[in-house]
């Protein structure tokens, strides 16, 4: 058993009236952690499960992340983002409703947008602030020939 868990259990016992300890994580990982020491489970009698964010909530998070950095998602970029947030068909991904995933998508989109704009000779203020679908997906739009 790792020394840090033994130290945690001892500290919790020695200072039980002085500290409050909150653990957070995905359900399966937390259950594995609790099983590493027989005394852990009884020391954490309150368990709160938070449901995953739904697609609309994840879109709102994306919009807030963009707005905080003065970016805007086009209507088409929002649609591309929602499409990328479809839950897996077999629903095996227990981390689907994760805001970190949305943050990573937005950060990658901002990098793609910068790369896309750097090749232009001049850029407008609006172009600097707009995230397009290709920035979300990484796929260039097809041009009709």
| pLDDT tens per residue, range 1-31 | 567 888 888 888 899 899 888 888 888 888 8
Contacts of 60 (CB under 8 A, 6+ apart): none
Local confidence band at 93 (pLDDT 50, 70, 90 cut-offs): low
| pLDDT tens per residue, range 42-84 | 888 888 888 888 899 999 999 999 999 999 999 999 999 999 8
Two tokens at 120?
A: 């232009």
Beta strands in the chain (DSSP E): 72-73, 130-131
- Cα–Cα distance measured from residue 51 to residue 65, given in angstroms and rounded to the nearest whole number: 21
In order of their start, the domains of the chain are 3-43 (no CATH), 55-137 (1.10.8.60)
């Amino acid at each position: 058993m790792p020394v840090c868990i033994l130290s945690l259990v001892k500290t919790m016992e020695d200072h039980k009236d002085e500290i409050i300890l909150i653990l957070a994580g995905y359900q399966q990982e937390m259950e594995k952690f609790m099983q590493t020491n027989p005394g852990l489970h009884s020391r954490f009698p309150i368990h709160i499960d938070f449901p995953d964010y739904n697609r609309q909530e994840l879109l709102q998070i994306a919009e807030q992340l963009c707005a905080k950095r003065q970016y805007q998602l086009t209507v088409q970029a929002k649609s591309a983002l929602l499409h990328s947030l479809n839950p897996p068909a077999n629903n095996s991904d227990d981390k689907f409703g994760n805001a970190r995933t949305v943050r990573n998508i937005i950060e990658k989109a901002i990098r793609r947008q910068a790369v896309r704009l750097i090749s232009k000779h001049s850029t407008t203020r609006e172009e600097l602030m707009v995230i397009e679908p290709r920035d979300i997906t990484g796929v260039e739009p097809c041009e009709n020939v």
